[in-house]
Amino acid sequence: MSGASDRPWRLAAALCGVVVALDQAAKALAESELYPGEQVDLIGPLDLTLAHNRGIAFGLAGDGGGLLIAFTVISLCFIGWLFARDPQRSGMWVAVGLLVGGALGNLVDRVRADAVTDYIDVLGWPPFNVADIAITVGVGLLAIRFLTEPR
C-alpha distances out from residue 45 to 8, 37, 120, 129, 143, Å = 37, 17, 11, 16, 28
How many whole angstroms separate alpha carbon 111 and alpha carbon 144?
32
- DSSP code at position 120: E
Spatial contact of 9 and 91, defined as CB atoms under 8 Å apart: no
Q: Is 137 exposed, middle or buried (0-12, 13-18, 19+ CB in 10 A)?
A: middle
Q: Which residues are catalytic?
A: 118, 132
